[in-house]
Chain A
Amino acid sequence: MKSYVAQRLGIAILTLVGMSMVIFALLRLAPGDIVDILFSTAGYVNEADKQALLKELGMDRPYWVQYLDWMRQILTGDLGKSYRYDIPAWEIIRPLLPVTIELAILSIIVAVALGVPTGVISAVRQDTTLDYALRVVSLAGLSMPSFWLGMVIILGMVSWLGWIPPMTYVRPTENFKAHAIQFALPALAVGYRSSALIMRITRSSLLEVMREDYIRTAWAKGQAERVVIWHHALKNAILPVVTVIGIEFAFLIGGLVVTETVFNLPGVARFLVQAILWRDYPIVQNLVMFIAIVVILSNLFVDMLYGVLDPRVRYGS
Chain B
Amino acid sequence: MSRMRVTISLLVPSLVLVIALGTPAISQTPKSGGTLNITQREDLPQGFAIHETQTSSTVWPSMPCFNNLVVYDPAKKVESFDTIVGDLAEKWSWQDNYRNLVFFLRKGVKWHDGQPFTSKDVKFTFDMVREGADAPAKLRINPRKDWYANVESIETPDAHTVVFHLKRPQPSILMMLASGYTPVYAAHVPPANYRTSCVGTGPFRLKEWRKGEFVEYVRNPDYFIKGRPYLDGLKYVVIVERGTRSAALQSGAVDVSYPGETSKTQAEQLKKAVPQLVVTPVSENVNNNVIMNIKKPPFDNLKIRLAVSHAIDRRALIQAVYQGGGVIGAAMAPKPHAFWGLGDKDLTALPGYGNAAEEKARAKKMMAELGYSPEKPLKVEMVTRAIAIYVDMASFVINELKQIGIESTLKQIETAQWHAMAVRGEYQIGANLTGLGADDPDGNFYENYACGSPRNYTHYCSEQVTKMIDQQSQEIDQKKRLAMVYAIQKKLEEDAARPILSWRMDYFTHWPYVKGLVVQNNVYNFGRMQEVWRDK
Contacts and interface: CB of A to CB of B under 8 A. Distances in A.
A274 B240 contact: yes
B178 to A, nearest CB: 20
Contacts of A37: 415-416
Contacts of A46: 142, 454
Interface in A17-56: 31-33, 36-46, 49, 52-53, 56
Contact of A266 (B210, B244, B247): B210
Given A52-B140, A95-B210, A33 B416 contact: yes
A203 interface: no
B241 A264 contact: yes
Nearest to B419: A40
A262 interface: yes
A167 B239 contact: yes
B53 interface: yes
Interface string B284-326: 0000000000000000000000000000000000000000000
Interface size class on chain A is 35 or more
B243 A274 contact: no
* A164, A167, A271: most-surrounded residue (chain B CB, <10 A): A167
A49 B52 CA distance: 12
Contact of B141 (A31, A42, A262): A42
Interface in A219-243: none
B251 interface: yes
Question: How big is chain B's contact interface, by range?
Answer: 35 or more
A86 B195 contact: yes
A85 interface: yes
A85 B239 contact: no
Nearest to A273: B240
B211 interface: yes
A32 B417 contact: yes
Given A85-B196, A85-B211, A158-B250, A43 B417 contact: no
Contacts, number: 137
A155 B415 contact: no
A86 B190 CA distance: 14
Nearest to B420: A45
Interface in A235-254: none
A42 B52 contact: yes
A167 B248 contact: yes
A41 B143 CA distance: 9
Given A43-B54, A56-B140, A164 B247 contact: yes
A238 B240 CA distance: 40
A23 B455 CA distance: 35
Contacts of B454: 44-46
Contact of A262 (B43, B54, B243, B424): B243
A159 to B, nearest CB: 7
A274 B43 contact: yes
A147 to B, nearest CB: 9
Contact of A42 (B53, B195, B254, B414): B53
A151 interface: yes
Contacts of A266: 210, 212-213
Contacts of B424: 45
Nearest to A46: B454
B66 interface: no
A274 B419 CA distance: 20
A92 B237 contact: no
Contacts of B140: 49, 52-53, 56
Most chain B CB within 10 A, of A31, A38, A92, A166, is at A38
A272 B251 CA distance: 28
Interface string B230-263: 0000010111110110011011111000000000
B225 interface: no
A155 B240 contact: no
Given A45-B454, A169-B210, 16 more contacts: A32-B416, A40-B418, A40-B419, A41-B54, A42-B52, A43-B419, A84-B45, A85-B47, A157-B251, A164-B244, A164-B248, A168-B235, A262-B241, A262-B243, A270-B212, A274-B240
25 contacts: A31-B417, A32-B417, A33-B416, A36-B417, A36-B419, A36-B420, A38-B46, A40-B416, A40-B417, A40-B418, A42-B53, A43-B54, A44-B54, A44-B423, A44-B454, A45-B454, A85-B211, A151-B243, A261-B244, A262-B241, A262-B244, A264-B238, A266-B213, A271-B212, A274-B212
In order of increasing CB-CB distance, the 6 nearest A-B pairs are A32-B416, A42-B143, A43-B54, A44-B454, A158-B247, A36-B416
Interface of B: 42-43, 45-47, 52-55, 58, 140-143, 192, 195-196, 210-214, 235, 237-241, 243-244, 247-248, 250-254, 273, 414-420, 423-424, 454-455
